[in-house]
């Protein structure tokens, strides 16, 4: 149920003009491909799983913090 709520919240962010452009990455302990697909379909830029790969984390944060193109 919690995953559904998070995805609904993300969809709500995407439909509000004030928050639609926020860059969102979801972090989860659940590595199922369907959860990653659901997160991306809801508007997440990426879906990271635990344990967190620090190289991927640093690269991802650099990308997220870079000025929008």
Q: Which distant-in-sequence residues (6+ apart) come within 8 Å of 31 by Cβ?
A: 49
Tell me the C-alpha distance between 35 and 53, whole Å: 18
Q: Could you report the per-residue pLDDT of 41-59, keeping only the tens digit for each?
A: 888 988 998 899 899 899 9
Q: Could you report the per-residue pLDDT of 3-29, keeping only the tens digit for each?
A: 667 888 898 999 999 999 998 998 888
Tell me the C-alpha distance between 15 and 8, whole Å: 11
Give the pTM: 0.74
- Longest CA pairwise span in the chain (Å): 35
């Amino acid at each position: 149920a919690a995953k559904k709520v998070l995805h609904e919240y993300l969809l709500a962010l995407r439909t509000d003009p004030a928050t639609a452009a926020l860059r969102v990455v979801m972090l989860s302990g659940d590595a199922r491909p369907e959860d990653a697909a659901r997160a991306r379909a809801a508007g997440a830029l990426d879906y990271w799983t635990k344990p967190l790969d620090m190289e991927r984390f640093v690269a991802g944060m650099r990308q997220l913090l870079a000025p929008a193109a």
